[in-house]
Structure 1
Amino acid sequence: EVIPSKRKLTSKVWLEMKKMRINGEWKAKCNWCHKVLTVGSRNGTKHLRLHLDICTLKKLKTKGGKTLSQSSLKVCAEEDGKVSMESYTFDQDYARVELGNMLVLHDYPLSMVDHVGFRRFVAALQPLFKLHTRNTIRGDIVGRYKMERKKAIEYMSMIQSRVAVTTDMWTSDSQKKGYMAITTHFIDESLRLRNILMRYMFIYVPAPHNAPI
């Protein structure tokens, strides 16, 4: 339940924040970054002014009209030890995709995006990057998987060789749960052996999985 305040607010911070009642408690929501801060008679508005002083989005939008895709300089190290500078534009969507790829590649738990230490680390590297919840990241990963699976099926429908289907068992390091993977194997047009992971099936199977089934 979110109820806006009807009381007349005199502090200048309320020109850039909105006071509202959330679950029975008064909160202040920043108009720039939408961060929610605690409001109360004991707290005053000093901490709200401090937030506005360091609000990254406020600084970006009030200095030259810059946005989340602002251009900056990127430092690149060459193989011979030389350092070069090139223009760089932060892309929120690309960074979000790469976050999902990292979680899948290294089998990291989705809850990692909720960890305070990880959020502080990301903010230190790129304050513009908006970290979403684990459910949003899960949706991104599932959506990407469905898209890649569709492309793989379309590709295999055009090949001339036979396709062998195998299954394999493995256990997630983070969840300690058993999975069965279905993989296709075939010879492509360049006579190279290819394999494509088609599906994961979640099943409860005691580890280890090195014994005959």
Structure 2
Amino acid sequence: MFRKRLNERRVSGGQQFFQPSSSCGDSQPPVLWDDKFDMARMRERAAQWVMMHDHPFTIVEEEGFNLMQKTRMPEWEKIMRITNKKDCVSVFEIEKKKLMNVLKNVNKISLMIDLWKSSNQNIEYMVITGHFIDGNWRLQKMVLSFVHIDPPHTGVQVVDSVYKCLKE
């Protein structure tokens, strides 16, 4: 049944793909499009997936992951962990530029700071989220910084991290 549904989604001229929205607060519906396989785009999506779910870079080298991808996309090429790490940094830099463009028109911003320990890596993080009203009078929420922070979390250490984030 599952295979039949997948085959019904095939259209002439290429595979039909589902494109998720670029940001969680985006109100536009997802887009379906017909396109040829693009390994560069798949590498970008793999990097986003790794960062979104806090996976190790090595997950893209695992046999099961690559078998799953190759089953439906014969053009799939294995991604090495070093390549995945570089792709993650590239995605981060692109998103940072987008954020800077959005914040150019913001006059006031409210900051929220959250500290926690990653369950699968046992590393402690700090995230700084900014809340602001955009030009259309809608409340926006964006992650401004996501950094590793060593324990203990003293007030001075937290303030230094916030200052560094705002300076960047």
Same fold (TM over 0.5): yes
Aligning the two structures, in what range does the TM-score lie when normalised by the shorter sequence?
A: 0.5 to 0.7
User: 1:100–1:140: 8 Å Cα contact kept in structure 2?
Assistant: yes
Structure 2 counterpart of 1:196: 142
Root mean square deviation, CA, Å? 2.1
- After superposition, where does 1:45-194 map in structure 2 within 5 Å? 75-77=7-9, 85-88=11-14, 89-159=36-106, 161-194=107-140
The separation in 2 between residues aligned to 1:96 and 1:76, in whole angstroms, is 26
Structure 2 counterpart of 1:30: none
Higher relative contact order (CA 8 A, sep 6+): 2
The separation in 2 between residues aligned to 1:123 and 1:150, in whole angstroms, is 33
The separation in 2 between residues aligned to 1:173 and 1:140, in whole angstroms, is 24
TM-score relative to the length of structure 2: 0.66
Percent identity (aligned): 26
CA deviation map 1:6-32 (0-9, x unaligned): xxxxxxxxxxxxxxxxxxxxxxxxxxx
CA deviation map 1:172-199 (0-9, x unaligned): 2331211101221100112111111122
Give 1 or 2 for the bigger CA radius of gyration.
1
The separation in 1 between residues aligned to 2:96 and 2:8, in whole angstroms, is 35
User: 2:129–2:142: 8 Å Cα contact kept in structure 1?
Assistant: yes
Pairwise CA distance, 1:137: 0.8
Structure 2 gap segments, 5+ residues each: 1-5, 15-35, 153-168
Looking at secondary structure, tell me which structure has more strand per residue: 1
Pairwise CA distance, 1:75: 4.3
User: 1:171–1:177: 8 Å Cα contact kept in structure 2?
Assistant: yes
SS at match of 1:122: helix
User: 1:179–1:202: 8 Å Cα contact kept in structure 2?
Assistant: yes
User: 2:47–2:91: 8 Å Cα contact kept in structure 1?
Assistant: no
CA deviation map 1:65-123 (0-9, x unaligned): xxxxxxxxx8454xxxxxx6232111111111111121122222222112122222222
SS at match of 1:123: helix
Structure 1 gap segments, 5+ residues each: 1-73, 78-83, 207-213
Structure 2 counterpart of 1:70: none
How many residues in Structure 1 have an aligned counterpart in Structure 2? 126
The separation in 2 between residues aligned to 1:105 and 1:186, in whole angstroms, is 23
SS at match of 2:150: coil
Looking at secondary structure, tell me which structure has more helix per residue: 2
Distance 1:76 1:145, change over 3 A: farther
TM-score relative to the length of structure 1: 0.53
The separation in 1 between residues aligned to 2:114 and 2:53, in whole angstroms, is 18
